[in-house]
C-alpha cells in the first residue's frame, strides 16, 4: 500500500487491447480500431449444400483468429471510453498548447529510451504534463514520488485529469513502505535534483535505483532546476535508469574521470578532492532525453517585487547575541548556548537574530517574537504565505497568529488562514497562488532556496508577485541576502569576513 500518501484505483479494468500508436490520442486510436473492426468483420455470401438444400451464409471475408477479433472489439470499446473521458476532462482541465507538444515529444522519448527528463521551470505545469505522458504510454500502475507538502497539489491535478491508470502518490521518505508486489510500470520522480547528491548517492537515490531494477518501470524525472549547484548532480539522478547516457560508468568516480574537472580543496586542514566542477558535456550527453521549457516560453510575464523590512529586536536579545559573540558561550541556570566554533557561532547567531535558539541539550526556545508580531500587524486582513527557517520559528508564529495560521496547503486553499512553511521543504513542488503576498520570517543560506521559494506564487495569469523579507536590525540576514541574490550560497567564509572572525 501507499502509506502516508494518496492512492487512486484505475478507472478501467485493463483488458487485452491493441497497443497505442506513438503520438496517437484516444480519439485517433478509437477511430483506428473501428477501421480495423470494419475490415476484419467484412462478410461475403457463401453457398452451402446442393440443389434444394443449398443455403446462403454470411461468412467472414478474412480468416482472422477469434482472439484477434476479440482484441480489436475490446480495443474499440476501451479507446472509445477513454475518448469520452477526455471529453469530460476537457470541461475540467485543458492542456496548454506547449504542454500538448511536450506530452507528444515526451511520449516518443519514453517509448524509445524508457525515460524522459522534463526540465520545466516552476509553474509551467510539470506535474500535469507528466500525468499526460503517463496516459499516452498506456501506463497501468504509476508511482509518483514527491515531497510530502506537494502531495495534495498533485492529487488535485490527478482528480481533475481523470486518467485511466492507477496512481500512488507518496513522499520519498515513505519509499520503504511501498508494496513491493505492485507491478509499477511508470515511476515519476518529482524534484529529481534532490537525488543529485555526490560523491556518494543519497538514500533516496539508492532506493529509487533499486525500485527501477525490480520493476523495470519507465521513468519520468521532473525538475525546474536539474543541476542547481553543479552539473555533477546529474549522475545519481539517472544512474539507476538502464538506458541513461552514463551507464558505462559504474561508479561516480569513473564518471568523474571523463566529465568532471577534479580539484582539491582544504577542509579542516585536510586536502580533499572536489568533484563539483562538472563539465557542460554532462548536459550535452543528456540532451536526447531532456525537454527544457522556461516560464518565458510559456508566456509568463510576472514581475517579482521584493522589499526588505528591518525590525528592532528586544534589547535583551541583542545583549545575548553580544555576549555570545564575545565569550562564545552563554551559561544559564539550566541551559547553555555554545558558539565555540565558527560553524556553531554562525548557526546560533542566525537563530538569535530571528528570536529563537537551540541549546546544547537539544531543546529549543522562543526568546523574541518581534518579527512575528511585525508580520501580523503589517499584513492584518491579508492572506499570506510565510516562510521560516528554524523549527522554533514556527512556534513563534503560532504564539502570535494562533488559529489564523496553518501549515497544511489544503487548509490554506479552503479557508482564509495564513500558511507557514519551512523554506527547504516548501520551496519545491507546491503552489501558493492563493497567497496575496509572500513574507520571509528568516532567510536560508542556500541560493537555491532563495530562487525557488520566492516563485511559489507565480502563475501565467498573475502579473505581479510581491515578496517581503523581515530582517533584524544589525543582523546576519542582510549579509545572507546579498550572497543568495547573486546565486551564491552563504558560507562560513562569508560569515568570517562579515563578522571579522
Q: Residue 298 — φ and ψ, nearest 5°?
A: -80, -5
pLDDT, one tens digit per residue, over 466-476 is 899 999 999 99
Q: What is the mean pLDDT of the chain?
A: 88
Q: What is the mean pLDDT of residues 482-486?
A: 87
- Whole-number pLDDT of residue 369: 97
Q: What is the mean pLDDT of residues 89-111?
A: 88
- Whole-number pLDDT of residue 500: 62
CB of 418 closer than 8 Å to CB of 405: yes
3-state secondary structure 287-311: HHHEEEECHHHHCCCCEEEEEEEEE
Percent of the chain's residues with pLDDT above 90 = 61
pLDDT, one tens digit per residue, over 30-65 is 999 999 999 999 988 887 777 777 787 888 888 889
CB of 42 closer than 8 Å to CB of 48: no
Among 402, 411, 337, CA closest to 367: 337
* Alpha carbon separation from 437 to 308, 380, 387, 470, 476 (Å, rounded): 13, 12, 11, 13, 23
For 323, the grid coordinates are 555576549
Give yes or no for residue 11 having a pLDDT over 60: no
Residues 6+ apart with CB under 8 A from 335: 359, 360, 361, 363, 365
Query: Which range, 20-24, 291-295, 424-428, has the best average confidence (pLDDT)?
Result: 291-295
Question: pTM of the prediction?
Answer: 0.66
Between CA 128 and CA 147 the distance in angstroms is: 16
CB of 389 closer than 8 Å to CB of 422: yes
pLDDT band at 458 (very low <50, low <70, confident <90, very high): low
Give yes or no for residue 301 having a pLDDT over 70: no
Helices (H), 126-166: 126-136, 151-161
pLDDT, one tens digit per residue, over 184-213 is 999 999 999 999 999 999 999 999 999 999
Between CA 497 and CA 501 the distance in angstroms is: 7
Burial of 78 (0-12, 13-18, 19+ CB in 10 A): buried
Picking from 168-177, 227-236, 264-273, 361-370, which range would have the lowest pLDDT averaged per residue? 264-273
Residue 251, SS3 per DSSP: coil
Q: What is the mean pLDDT of residues 138-142?
A: 92
pLDDT band at 13 (very low <50, low <70, confident <90, very high): very low
Amino acid at each position: 500500500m501507499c502509506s502516508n500518501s494518496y492512492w487512486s484505483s484505475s478507472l478501467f479494468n485493463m483488458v487485452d487491447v491493441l497497443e497505442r500508436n506513438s503520438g496517437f490520442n484516444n480519439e485517433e486510436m478509437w477511430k483506428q480500431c473501428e477501421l480495423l473492426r470494419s475490415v476484419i468483420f467484412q462478410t461475403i455470401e457463401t453457398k452451402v449444400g446442393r440443389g434444394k438444400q443449398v443455403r446462403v451464409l454470411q461468412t467472414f471475408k478474412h480468416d482472422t483468429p477469434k482472439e484477434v477479433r476479440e482484441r480489436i472489439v475490446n480495443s474499440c470499446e476501451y479507446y472509445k471510453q477513454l475518448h469520452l473521458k477526455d471529453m469530460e476532462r476537457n470541461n475540467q482541465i485543458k492542456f496548454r498548447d506547449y504542454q500538448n507538444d511536450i506530452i507528444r515529444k515526451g511520449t516518443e522519448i519514453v517509448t524509445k529510451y524508457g525515460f524522459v527528463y522534463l526540465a520545466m521551470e516552476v509553474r509551467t505545469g510539470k506535474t500535469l504534463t507528466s500525468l499526460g505522458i503517463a496516459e499516452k504510454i498506456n501506463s497501468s500502475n504509476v508511482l509518483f514520488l514527491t515531497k510530502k507538502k506537494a502531495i495534495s497539489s498533485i492529487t488535485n491535478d490527478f482528480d481533475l485529469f481523470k486518467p485511466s491508470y492507477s496512481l500512488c502518490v507518496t513522499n520519498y521518505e515513505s519509499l520503504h513502505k511501498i508494496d513491493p508486489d505492485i507491478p509499477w510500470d511508470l515511476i515519476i520522480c518529482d524534484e529529481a535534483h534532490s537525488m543529485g547528491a555526490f560523491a556518494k548517492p543519497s538514500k533516496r537515490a539508492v532506493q529509487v535505483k533499486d525500485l527501477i531494477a525490480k520493476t523495470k518501470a519507465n521513468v519520468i524525472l521532473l525538475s525546474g532546476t536539474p543541476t542547481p549547484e553543479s552539473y555533477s548532480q546529474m549522475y545519481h539522478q539517472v544512474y539507476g535508469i538502464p538506458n541513461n547516457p552514463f551507464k558505462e560508468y559504474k561508479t561516480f568516480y569513473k564518471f568523474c574521470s571523463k566529465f568532471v574537472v577534479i580539484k582539491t580543496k582544504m577542509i579542516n586542514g585536510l586536502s580533499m578532492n572536489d568533484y563539483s566542477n562538472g563539465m557542460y558535456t554532462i548536459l550535452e550527453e543528456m540532451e536526447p532525453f531532456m525537454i527544457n521549457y522556461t516560464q518565458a516560453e510559456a508566456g509568463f510575464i510576472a514581475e517579482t517585487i521584493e522589499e526588505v523590512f528591518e525590525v528592532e529586536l528586544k534589547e535583551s536579545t541583542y545583549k545575548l547575541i553580544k555576549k555570545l559573540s564575545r565569550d562564545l558561550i552563554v551559561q544559564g541556570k539550566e541551559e547553555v548556548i555554545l558558539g565555540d566554533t565558527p560553524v556553531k557561532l554562525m548557526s546560533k547567531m542566525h537563530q538569535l537574530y530571528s528570536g529563537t535558539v537551540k541549546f546544547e541539550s537539544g531543546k529549543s526556545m522562543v526568546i523574541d517574537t518581534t518579527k512575528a508580531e511585525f508580520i501580523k500587524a503589517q499584513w492584518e486582513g491579508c492572506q499570506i504565505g510565510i516562510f521560516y527557517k528554524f523549527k522554533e520559528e514556527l512556534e513563534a508564529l503560532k504564539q502570535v497568529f494562533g488559529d489564523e495560521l496553518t501549515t497544511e496547503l489544503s487548509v490554506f486553499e479552503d479557508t482564509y488562514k495564513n500558511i507557514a512553511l519551512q523554506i527547504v521543504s516548501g520551496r519545491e513542488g507546491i503552489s501558493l497562488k492563493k497567497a496575496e503576498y509572500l513574507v520571509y520570517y528568516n532567510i536560508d543560506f542556500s541560493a537555491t532556496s532563495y530562487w525557488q521559494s520566492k516563485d511559489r506564487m507565480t502563475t501565467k495569469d498573475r502579473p505581479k508577485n510581491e515578496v517581503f523579507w523581515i530582517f533584524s536590525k544589525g543582523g546576519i540576514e542582510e549579509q545572507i541576502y546579498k550572497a543568495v541574490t547573486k546565486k551564491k550560497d552563504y558560507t562560513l567564509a562569508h560569515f568570517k569576513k562579515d563578522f571579522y572572525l
